[in-house]
Amino acid sequence: MKITVLGSGGWGTALALLLLRNGHDVTLWSHSAERVAQWRLAGENPRLAGVPLPEELRLSACMESVSESALVVVATPSFAVRETARQAAPLLRPGTVLVSAAKGIERDTALRMTEVLEEETGCAAAALSGPSHAEEVGRDSPTGCVAAARDLETAGLVQDAFMGPRFRVYANEDVVGVELGGALKNVLALCCGVCDGMGLGDNAKALLMTRGMTEMARLGVALGGRKETFAGLSGMGDLIVTCTSMHSRNRRCGILVGQGRSPREAMEEVGAVVEGYFAALSAHQLAQRTGVEMPICRCAYEVLYQGQSAASVAERLMRRGKRHEMDESWL
Strands 143-148 and 125-129 come out as antiparallel
Q: Which residues pair with 74 in a beta bridge?
A: 6, 100
The answer for residues whose C-beta is within 8 angstroms of residue 208's C-beta and 6 or more apart is 188, 191, 192, 195, 243, 296
The answer for residues whose C-beta is within 8 angstroms of residue 125's C-beta and 6 or more apart is 97, 98, 99, 100, 113, 114, 115, 117, 118, 149
Name the CA dihedral angle for 149, 118, 114, 287, rounded to a multiple of 10 degrees. Answer: -120
* DSSP label at residue 233: I
User: Which listed residue (185, 205, 227, 322) is catalytic?
Assistant: 185
User: 3-state SS of the chain: helix, strand, coil percent to 5?
Assistant: 55, 15, 30
- Can you say how many angstroms the Cα of residue 122 is from the centroid of all Cα atoms in its chain? 22
Whether 185 is catalytic: yes
**Active site residue ranges:** 185
